[in-house]
């Protein structure tokens, strides 16, 4: 188990905050043991929260040229045919994965190929489970053209009510490695996949999936 590099600034702030409140407890309340224990417990709690949120577990990836692999951990909340209006402008199958604060928040490429589109959109911070968060919240859109069959998949990082920073590593022209890291979303969010209408969906609504391991669909 590793600690993800995106969490280093948050970890430093958490450690400094813990040191400050512990100093205050001892300096202003030198004989008040409850104040000391409160500072210790609060500091420890915040440290544990940060360590678990930014954890980066080592996993054996599922690599399959015919499969679309989950780009994130979480719960499948949407499977439906919809009109994708940003890039494809046609019918697609949308599969959405909601990530709670306790999930691993590393985002990964679902297929291998070339990044043909990568764009950041500023927006709102509504609850990520709401359908309109896909088009109104802060988000990114990344399209990868499959390296062998030529079909393209769009996946979208969507910020939530707590998520205030989306990290996207992708740039147009990049080589996408299936299950390779493409970004990170902090503190609760979702990832939407827009798949070809002939894709064979392999998951169900309410199913818990694991990034880089669960097969979402097959071409």
Catalytic residue annotation: 189
Contact in structure between 184 and 170 (CB atoms under 8 Å): no
Decide: 192 and 78 in contact? Cβ < 8 Å: yes
Q: Tokens 């392999």, residue?
A: 202
Q: Give the separation between CA 41 and CA 25, rounded to whole angstroms.
A: 12
To which H or E segment does residue 16 belong?
Answer: helix 8-28
What span, in angstroms and rounded, lies between the C-alpha atoms of 55 and 77? Answer: 24
Residue that the structure tokens 């577990």 belong to: 57
The CA-atom distances, in angstroms, between 1 and each of 51, 56, 147 are 11, 6, 31
């Amino acid at each position: 188990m590793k600690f993800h590099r995106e969490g280093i600034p948050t970890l430093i702030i958490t450690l400094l905050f813990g040191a400050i409140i512990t100093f205050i407890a001892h300096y202003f309340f030198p004989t008040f043991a409850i104040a000391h224990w409160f500072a210790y417990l609060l500091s420890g709690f915040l440290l544990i929260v940060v360590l678990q949120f930014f954890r980066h577990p080592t996993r054996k990836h599922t690599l399959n040229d015919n499969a679309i692999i989950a780009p994130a951990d979480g719960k499948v909340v949407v499977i439906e045919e919809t009109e994708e209006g940003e890039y494809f402008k046609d019918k697609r199958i949308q599969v959405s994965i909601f990530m709670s604060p306790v999930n691993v928040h590393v985002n990964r490429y679902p297929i291998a190929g070339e990044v043909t589109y990568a764009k950041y959109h500023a927006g709102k911070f509504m609850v990520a489970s709401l359908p309109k968060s896909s088009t109104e919240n802060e988000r990114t859109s990344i399209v990868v053209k499959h390296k062998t069959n030529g079909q393209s998949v769009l996946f979208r990082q969507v910020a939530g009510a707590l998520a205030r920073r989306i990290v996207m590593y992708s740039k147009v022209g990049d080589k996408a490695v299936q299950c390779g890291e493409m970004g990170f979303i902090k503190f609760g969010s979702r990832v939407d996949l827009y798949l070809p209408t002939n894709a064979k969906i392999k998951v169900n609504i309410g199913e818990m999936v694991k990034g880089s391991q669960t097969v979402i669909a097959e071409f």
